[in-house]
Amino acid sequence: MAQGVHLTVALEGAGWHPAAWREPEARPGELVTAGYWSDLVGEAERGLLDFVTIHDSFAPGPDRADLVRGRLDAVQIASRVAPRTRGIGLVPAAIATHTEPFHLSKSIATLDYVSLGRAGLSVEISGDPDTAEHFGRREFPQPEDDLYDEAADYVEVVRRLWDSWEDDAEIRDAATGRFIDREKLHYIDFIGKWFSVKGPSITPRPPQGQPLVAAFARNEAGYRLAERAADIVFVAEPAALRGRAERAGRPLLVFADLVVFLDEDERKAASRKARLDELAGAEYTADTRIFTGTPAGLADELLALREAGVTGFRLRPGAIPHDLTAITRGLVPELRRRGAFRDGYDAPTLRGLLGLTRPANRYADQRSGK
């Protein structure tokens, strides 16, 4: 039996192709509704995928009338759909460049509570000067290496805040009038180049202790961010990360990233992408690999990469719902026929699904002298 694979999908509006919203099956009038996103995540859960990432951006985008403009907040989407799901992980994107780690730590901790331990965070940067003008707080452009180093410090602050409450800090004893044990709340006292955060958080430690942190590595600076700060790294070329996971000094799961256009035969899949390219006025390219073919052909490729040491795969559907359902109703059954995919969720938390243990609280360890 082939070793099982981990699968996730990256959700982005009507799909990752810019003309996807013009497909007959698309629902462009519902992109800013809760029901639309509940349907997408529900479909991913029916396919028993490990988790979904929900894309986000503050960028205004190209000034074109034929492209989708406007989006909902990724963390808010995840919190809305969490009570409607039971097994799938929810990993919204957060732009570290223009948000505050204190606020985000609270939001993701809340998501972990709402989802009963299925939350994560996909940390991203933004070096776009036009986006910076939305906020007006910083001068751009800035060196990309600095933005990635800032993101690593951002995640460190978030992680310390998640640990700033020990697991048993809440006493809730009405008889004695003690709600918390003050000795088990901790200042994080983080002082760095970009942040000075005293803490503690105002939200108790999340159910997972530390929700999962993911990062996409497209260059050397991105690889360093993943090594320093992430539990999961999405990569376009898995070979480029060889040896780095070990240097991280902790479990670092490597997920190969692919945009997919799937159909019942290769010619049909290629024809559909070509038609979308024509509608968009240019050939679609991406910052990662593009697969055009059948679910069976994609299964062959994924299993070959799995044998080469990849932990899992993040698939970006070119058009939704077509390519999303091709994953859940075509690829997943194909992998299951080959003994390479599970028949149900076998752990209640996202960390458990991915084989990661619940980490000890750093401040509790320090207090006990460990």
Calculated CA dihedral for residues 330, 261, 52, 235, nearest 10 degrees: 120
Instruction: Give the residue extent of every domain in the chain.
Output: 6-368
pTM of the shown model: 0.95
Q: What is the pLDDT of residue 245?
A: 64
- What average pLDDT does range 217-243 have in this prediction? 88
- What average pLDDT does range 109-121 have in this prediction? 98
pLDDT band (50, 70, 90) for residue 27: very high
| Residue 59: C-alpha distances to residues 16, 62, 149 (Å) | 16, 9, 21
Count CA atoms closer than 13 A to 216's CA, side-chain side.
22
- What average pLDDT does range 205-214 have in this prediction? 98
Structure confidence by residue, pLDDT tens digits, 279-308? 999 999 999 999 999 999 999 999 999 888
Residue 369: is its pLDDT beyond 80? no
Cα–Cα dist 302/224, whole Å: 25
Residue 186: is its pLDDT beyond 80? yes
Q: What is the pLDDT of residue 132?
A: 87
Q: What is the pLDDT of residue 2?
A: 43
Q: Count Cβ atoms within 10 A of the Cβ of residue 3 and give its class: 0-12 exposed, 13-18 middle, 19 or more buried.
A: exposed
- Inter-axis angle of helices 144-163 and 101-114, nearest 10: 50
Residue 231: is its pLDDT beyond 90? yes
DSSP state of 361: P
> Alpha carbon 177 to chain centroid distance?
41
Q: What is the pLDDT of residue 247?
A: 67
Q: Does 130 or 188 have the greater pLDDT score?
A: 188
pLDDT band (50, 70, 90) for residue 246: low
pLDDT band (50, 70, 90) for residue 251: confident
CATH superfamily ID and name for 6-368: Luciferase-like domain (3.20.20.30)
DSSP state of 236: S
